[in-house]
Chain A
Amino acid sequence: MESYTDMTTLRACTFLDKGGVGKTTASAHLGTALSRAGHDVLLIDLAGKQGDLAKHFGLWGDLQGEDRWPNIATTFQDEWSIVVEKLDTAVDDLIITTEEGPDLIPAHEQLDGLDATLGNIDDTVERYSRLDAFLTEYIDERYDIVLLDLPGSTSNVAYNGLWAAESVVAPVRPGPFEAEQAAQLRRDLDTIRDEQDVDIDLTMVLLNEVDERTKAGRIYLDEFQTEYPDAIAPKQIPSSQDIQNAQMDGTVLWSLEKPSKTAERAMDAYETDAEVLVERLEDSA
């Protein structure tokens, strides 16, 4: 396995300006697939205070009982450098390990208030570059790949994630509304490139819950392949009850004792897509 120790840390974010499309599920499964392929992976949950990414690894219950500080919201603040100076374990304290492979910086309820706090910063660069500064100085040296799970809305925290990652993985469910959302994402990224001078790439469009056995499924697949020939993921994630089952068990597909055939196909799809994601990120690095 090639070592990425001396290479630039690859970053990507899962983002679509819509809730419930499977961003967190994609983050958890792509992150696990990458970890299983030998990469050192860090997942960061910026998607609100519900802790969904930690739930995917069965960790949120334990975290709920702790009043974690420092937490991910702390890293955005002016005082962060002082926190690191005063507390030797500040960065280590943020990170938790999962049994499934990737490390995780979980969400925290202070992300909610953080968004409003960021809104008080007039200067755009100052407001949107905080996460990038944190990752560059404290995280990149530790990991090969960092995946950010972003909120399903264009918030100040989301913009920090887009600026830090510069590569977007957009999970979409095939459907008319979702097709429009993907098109809107492309327009939003164009706007960010033009107005904020940040080079953000739509690196992967990941189709979730595709049922190629149905006519509608095949039509949507064709449409997305036509519309996003370079960005579409090589394998679509099939609809599988096991994905929900795994989530309810607080784990990912690879930890299921008896995965179904669709679960096997989904795991294979995530592994293939994760590999291609790395290739695309390397090409643009």
Chain B
Amino acid sequence: MSEDDELAKLREATDTGTRANQRGPDESQQQLEDAIGTALNAIESGKSKTLSVRDEHIAAILYGLDDAEQFDEVGAALREELGRDKGESVDRSEFLRLAIRLGLREAVPEVLEAAKNAQMKRMEHKF
């Protein structure tokens, strides 16, 4: 990235705008909740729920854990951290789901909160 590109990115990152174009925290959260609700409906109607991750370091971690026979142990630790029941050994798909959930919970708990609320609203509507 050139020096000019870096400065342009910094400029964008530091643009606070004005109060008129700032969304209030409640407004942002509601917007996210609505968007997640819409996405859940779309998935129920057939939109793909399969996501793929292409990342050499993450892939190396997973392959490495498998080769070192520590995959199940780390998977169990992820489950425990999220308060999930112990069960059969964790497969790769569940491992990634748990890791993503844990990351969201740690960094941006409000995102999981919005997802939970969106799901609850869908359940209420079904009654």
Q: In whole Å, how far is A179's beta carbon from the nearest beta carbon of chain B?
A: 31
Determine the distance from Cα of A74 to Cα of B16 in the docked complex, in whole angstroms.
9
A69-92 residues at the B interface, CB under 8 angstroms: 69-70, 73-74, 77, 79-80, 82-83, 86-87
Identity of the chain A residue whose Cβ is nearest the Cβ of B20 in the assembled complex:
A112
Identity of the chain A residue whose Cβ is nearest the Cβ of B22 in the assembled complex:
A116
Q: In whole Å, how far is B17's beta carbon from the nearest beta carbon of chain A?
A: 4
* The stretch of B4-12, B37-45, B66-74, B91-99 that contacts the partner chain: B4-12
Chain B 1-42 interface mask (CB, 8 Å, partner A; 1/0): 001001100110111111111100100000000000000000
Determine the distance from Cα of A80 to Cα of B16 in the docked complex, in whole angstroms.
13
Contact B13 A79 (CB under 8 A): yes
Determine the distance from Cα of A120 to Cα of B26 in the docked complex, in whole angstroms.
12
Contact A86 B16 (CB under 8 A): no
Contact A83 B18 (CB under 8 A): no
Contacts of B11 in A (CB 8 A): 69
Identity of the chain A residue whose Cβ is nearest the Cβ of B8 in the assembled complex:
A69
A99 at the interface (CB under 8 A from B): no
Contacts of B25 in A (CB 8 A): 120
A110 at the interface (CB under 8 A from B): yes
Determine the distance from Cα of A17 to Cα of B6 in the docked complex, in whole angstroms.
40
A103-120 residues at the B interface, CB under 8 angstroms: 109-110, 112-117, 120
A142 at the interface (CB under 8 A from B): no
Determine the distance from Cα of A80 to Cα of B11 in the docked complex, in whole angstroms.
10
Contact B22 A79 (CB under 8 A): no
Picked from B3, B10, B18, the residue with its CB within 8 Å of the CB of A79 is B10
Identity of the chain A residue whose Cβ is nearest the Cβ of B11 in the assembled complex:
A69
Contact B21 A86 (CB under 8 A): no
Contact B7 A86 (CB under 8 A): yes
Contact B16 A116 (CB under 8 A): yes
Chain B 49-89 interface mask (CB, 8 Å, partner A; 1/0): 00000000000000000000000000000000000000000
How many A-B contacts are there with CB distance less than 8 Å? Answer: 48
A36-60 residues at the B interface, CB under 8 angstroms: 49
Contact A113 B7 (CB under 8 A): no
Given contacts A86-B6, A87-B7, contact A113 B14 (CB under 8 A): no
Contacts of B22 in A (CB 8 A): 113, 116-117
Q: In whole Å, how far is A273's beta carbon from the nearest beta carbon of chain B?
A: 34
Contact B18 A86 (CB under 8 A): no
Picked from B6, B10, B16, the residue with its CB within 8 Å of the CB of A114 is B16
Contact B16 A82 (CB under 8 A): no
Contact B16 A110 (CB under 8 A): yes
Q: In whole Å, how far is B27's beta carbon from the nearest beta carbon of chain A?
A: 12
Contact A112 B19 (CB under 8 A): yes
Contacts of B19 in A (CB 8 A): 112-113, 115-116
Given contacts A73-B16, A86-B3, contact A113 B21 (CB under 8 A): yes
Q: In whole Å, how far is A42's beta carbon from the nearest beta carbon of chain B?
A: 21
Picked from A49, A74, A112, the residue with its CB within 8 Å of the CB of B14 is A74
Chain A 151-183 interface mask (CB, 8 Å, partner B; 1/0): 000000000000000000000000000000000
Chain A residues within 8 Å of B, Cβ to Cβ: 49, 69-70, 73-74, 77, 79-80, 82-83, 86-87, 109-110, 112-117, 120
Question: Can you list the 10 inter-chain pairs with the closest CB atoms, starting with the nearest?
Answer: A113-B16, A113-B17, A112-B18, A116-B22, A114-B16, A112-B19, A110-B16, A77-B14, A74-B14, A117-B16
| A-B pairs with beta carbons under 8 Å apart, 7 shown | A49-B18, A77-B14, A86-B6, A87-B7, A113-B17, A113-B19, A115-B19
Known: A49-B18, A110-B17, A116-B16. 10 other contacts (CB 8 A): A74-B14, A77-B16, A79-B14, A82-B10, A86-B6, A110-B15, A112-B20, A113-B16, A114-B16, A117-B22
